[in-house]
């Protein structure tokens, strides 16, 4: 991951079908805006599991929750649009 790029964080579980679907749907948006995706398995992080439990998948940017269970593409695109696109030069 590039430290200079914006990053989505997906709180996930390895066995969670909805988690995989959300990441797959998010990838084209992340590519379009030049953002990275970090996937964290809540089962490997007790504090995350305690906080988010059955809400996964959860899509975050920093501490800001964008959506959970299913990707809300309109919300994510609106949120990303307030950040400047990286130079494609």
* pLDDT tens sequence across 29-41: 999 999 999 999 9
All residue ranges of the chain with pLDDT < 70 are 1-3, 84-89
CATH number for 16-82 (one of 3.30.70, 2.40.10, 3.40.30, 3.40.50): it is: 3.40.30
How far is residue 84's CA from residue 2's CA, in Å, rounded to a whole number?
Answer: 16
Q: Which pTM value belongs to this model?
A: 0.88
The pLDDT score that the predictor gives to residue 87 is 47
The pLDDT score that the predictor gives to residue 83 is 78
H helix or E strand, kind and range, residue 47? helix 46-52
Residue 51: CB partners within 8 Å, gap ≥ 6? none
């Amino acid at each position: 991951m590039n430290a200079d790029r914006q990053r989505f964080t997906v709180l996930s579980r390895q066995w969670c079908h909805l988690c995989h679907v959300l990441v797959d749907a998010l990838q084209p948006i992340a590519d379009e805006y030049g953002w990275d995706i970090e996937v964290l398995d809540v089962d490997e992080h007790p504090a995350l599991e305690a906080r988010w439990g059955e809400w996964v998948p959860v899509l975050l940017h920093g501490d800001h929750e964008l959506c959970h269970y299913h990707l809300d593409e309109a919300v994510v695109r609106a949120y990303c649009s307030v950040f400047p696109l990286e130079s494609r030069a």
